[in-house]
Amino acid sequence: MNSVFEQMRRNLVVRINQHNIKMEKVLIALDYDPTAQKIAEAGYQLAKAMDAEVFLLHVISDPVYYASRDYSPIMGFNGYMDLGSIQKDSPDGLKDASMHYLEKTRKHLGDDSIQILVKEGDFADAILKAAKEIHADMIVMGSHSQKWLEKIVMGSVTEKVLSHTNLPLFIVPTKKRK
């Protein structure tokens, strides 16, 4: 996988240098799906290839979603997450759990310079607002749909972010290949 990113980095650096563009800040939006690790790692490698500062973001949108006993979106990387002492049934508890998760993600990536952000509200709106606040040069997101193109055409967080930003958007496909 590193060779793919190395080739991508070389191509990107050449294109960026031709236009005198400097990517200084990359915002990586994570939704705590089990595929968040893939998104975080791909976004981090891309940002580091461009010598950019990394920001990890999670958006708290619907507290009921987090309280489900059947599925918790705050899953963490294998063996990295223990939420035993964190209450997920209050807004402050959700923020604490999200911060804890992003701190563990930062630890997993092995880079203490990574900035972490937790926002509340509509997913796409919060991603766009965070990108504006930090003056991001690129946004990294995942696409979880089994029918990615269909989801983009019919509307999704990714489509909304794409249609409301002038920033480059790096989309990491996360569906399993057959």
Tell me the residue type at 72: S
CA distance 131 to 27: 7
Kindly report the pTM of this predicted structure. 0.77
CB neighbours of 91 closer than 8 A, spacing ≥ 6?
Answer: 60, 63, 120
Q: Which domains does the chain have, with CATH numbers?
A: 2-11+24-173 (3.40.50.620)
DSSP-assigned letter for residue 119: E
CA distances in angstroms from 95 to 4, 27, 35, 172, listed in the order given:
35, 18, 21, 25
Residue 55 pairs in a beta bridge with 27, 115
* 151 — pLDDT class (breaks 50, 70, 90): low
Look at residue 54 in the predicted model and tell me its pLDDT. 98
pLDDT in tens, 67-123: 554 444 444 444 444 444 445 556 678 888 889 999 999 999 999 999 999 999 999
